[in-house]
């Protein structure tokens, strides 16, 4: 067992877990293959949050079964939330599979892969103490380092499978996280993104998320700090104060709303009302100048009627998010809401989703248009995908920006003036001379 191909689906937490797995495998003398055809083992890191995500993985397993028919020694494994969700049932359903490993089994991945070469293996025991805090990930090549500060979730929202697939909430000790950030900076990363299912409920027993932001704000060489996803109920004044006062923490907060209707929020067990959420938005905007807000919304949750849906339309129109992840409700086995069945038809869910997408497109377009003529600070990531003559990066508000290539290297900050916009991208031109050696560019 020498080369392992890793394929990742789902959220940034899964991206970070794949980097963790890659680190574990490399320390065991294995290497990461760049294509499934070159690998001795294929591992798919999966998501179980929506049924569609699981269907995609099952389709992918069908493709790998054809590869395995040509190479019988190939080991095929499924890791992550879908593995935990379906457990050994997956081994029965997909004959191509040799290994099923849940999110708390990555420490032993090399050994599990070796065993799976001799017969099917399942490791899906959840471990209340596993944080992988002592393991070094093999980070991808980007300017941005994912740092998982907390694993699992205690909220048990009634639609969500995560507490069952990732187990109970536990945080890493703050000094370990500061060390991880320092190491990432030493490796050349300029931005860290703290990850947790409810990242702002972080606590290592003595220190909270505000302490973590303040401690890492002092790390020399680090340019930017972001985090995702906070829970509205855990957004304390201490955390708001730290976001607003820490120089490196970007003015951007992803604040999942899920629904604009109080009865639906109660049924979802979201633990806040629309009024409390609205008040939180006001406090965040008052404390953090230039704040960009993004959100998650689900349409068609059991019991959501037309009036409830209209409340969601109202708050979206009022808050005016910079962008939003909009989803149709997907009933997940094991969750509480699953027992309630569906009350909206697929057509109705589709109509509501289309309505919100159109509304959000219009708002994102207007907010991005308002940037035209203004100067934005961009952390350059590299050539733009569509036009390699252009550079791509993210503004402080996490907006995608493209501008004419001027030799600014990845990882440097560049001031640009916005000259055009689409709902998804700001089009800009550099302002003043580039000073990549300083990593910072002054406005002329
Ligand atoms: S806060 Fe709710 S939606 Fe988020 S991971 Fe936890 S249970 Fe799922």
pLDDT tens by residue, 75-113: 999 999 999 988 867 877 668 899 999 999 999 999 999
Does residue 197 have its Cβ closer than 6 Å to ligand 1? Answer: yes
> With 0-12 CB in 10 A as exposed, 13-18 as middle and 19+ as buried, what is 373?
exposed
CA dist., res. 61 & res. 76, Å (int): 8
> Three-state SS string across 285-308, please?
HHHCCCCEEEEEEEECCCCCCHHH
Q: How far is the CA of 8 from the centre of ligand 1 (A)?
A: 20
* Ligand 1 pocket mutation pick from 157, 199, 255, 257 by most atoms within 8 angstroms of CB: 157
Does residue 198 have its Cβ closer than 6 Å to ligand 1? Answer: yes
Q: Where residue 143 falls among pLDDT bands split at 50, 70, 90?
A: very high
CA dist., res. 267 & res. 329, Å (int): 13
pLDDT of residue 89: 75
Does residue 195 have its Cβ closer than 6 Å to ligand 1? Answer: no
> Pairing relation of β-strands 150-151 and 170-171?
antiparallel
Does residue 74 have its Cβ closer than 6 Å to ligand 1? Answer: no
Q: Which two tokens stand for residue 308?
A: 């409830």
pLDDT of residue 92: 74
Nearest CA to ligand 1 atom 4: 197
* Ligand 1 pocket mutation pick from 163, 267, 298 by most atoms within 8 angstroms of CB: 163
- Taking CA atoms, 378 is separated from 246, 320, 430, in Å, by 18, 23, 10
pLDDT tens by residue, 197-216: 999 999 999 999 999 999 99
| Average pLDDT of the segment spanning 281-294 | 98
Q: How far is the CA of 48 from the centre of ligand 1 (A)?
A: 13
pLDDT of residue 443: 35
Does residue 226 have its Cβ closer than 6 Å to ligand 1? Answer: no
Set out the domains of the chain in order of their start, with CATH numbers.
3-123 (3.40.50.12160), 139-250 (3.30.750.210), 255-368 (3.30.750.200), 375-430 (2.40.50.140)
């Amino acid at each position: 067992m020498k080369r392992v191909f890793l394929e990742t689906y789902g959220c940034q937490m899964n991206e970070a877990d794949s980097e963790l797995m890659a680190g574990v495998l490399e320390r065991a003398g294995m290497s990461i293959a760049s294509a499934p055809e070159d690998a001795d083992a294929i591992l798919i890191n999966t998501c179980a949050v929506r049924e569609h995500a699981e269907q995609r993985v099952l389709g992918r397993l069908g493709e790998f079964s054809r590869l395995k028919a040509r190479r019988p020694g190939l080991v095929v494994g499924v890791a992550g939330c879908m593995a935990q969700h379906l457990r050994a049932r997956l081994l029965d359903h997909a004959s191509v599979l040799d290994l099923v490993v849940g999110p708390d089994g990555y420490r032993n991945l090399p050994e599990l892969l070796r065993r799976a070469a001799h017969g099917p293996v399942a490791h899906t025991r959840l471990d209340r103490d596993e944080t992988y805090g002592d393991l070094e990930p093999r980070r991808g090549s980007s300017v941005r380092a994912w740092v998982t500060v907390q694993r699992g979730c205690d909220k048990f929202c009634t639609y969500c499978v995560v507490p069952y697939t990732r187990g109970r909430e536990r945080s890493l000790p703050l000094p370990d996280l500061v060390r991880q950030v320092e190491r990432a900076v030493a490796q050349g990363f300029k931005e860290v993104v703290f990850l947790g299912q409810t990242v702002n409920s972080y606590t290592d027993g003595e220190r909270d998320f505000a302490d973590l932001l303040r401690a890492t704000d002092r790390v020399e060489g680090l340019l930017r700090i972001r985090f995702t996803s906070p829970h509205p109920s855990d957004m304390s004044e201490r955390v708001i104060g730290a976001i607003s006062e820490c120089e490196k923490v970007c003015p951007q907060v992803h604040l999942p709303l899920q629904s604009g209707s109080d009865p639906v929020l109660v049924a979802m067990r979201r633990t806040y009302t629309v009024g409390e959420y609205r008040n939180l938005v006001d406090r965040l905007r008052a404390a953090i100048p230039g704040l960009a807000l993004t959100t998650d919304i689900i349409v068609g949750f059991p019991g959501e009627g037309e009036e409830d849906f209209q409340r969601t339309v109202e708050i979206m129109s009022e808050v005016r998010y910079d962008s939003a992840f909009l989803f149709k409700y997907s009933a997940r086995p094991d969750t509480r809401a699953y027992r309630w069945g569906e009350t909206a038809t697929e057509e109705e869910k589709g109509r509501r989703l289309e309505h919100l997408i159109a509304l959000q497109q219009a708002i994102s377009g207007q907010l991005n248009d308002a940037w035209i003529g203004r100067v934005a600070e961009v952390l350059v990531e590299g050539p733009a995908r569509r036009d390699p003559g252009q550079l791509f990066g993210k503004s402080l508000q996490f907006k995608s920006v493209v501008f004419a290539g001027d030799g600014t290297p990845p990882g440097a900050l560049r001031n640009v003036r916005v000259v055009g916009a689409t709902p998804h991208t700001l089009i800009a031109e550099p302002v003043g001379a580039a000073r990549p050696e300083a990593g910072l560019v002054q406005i002329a």
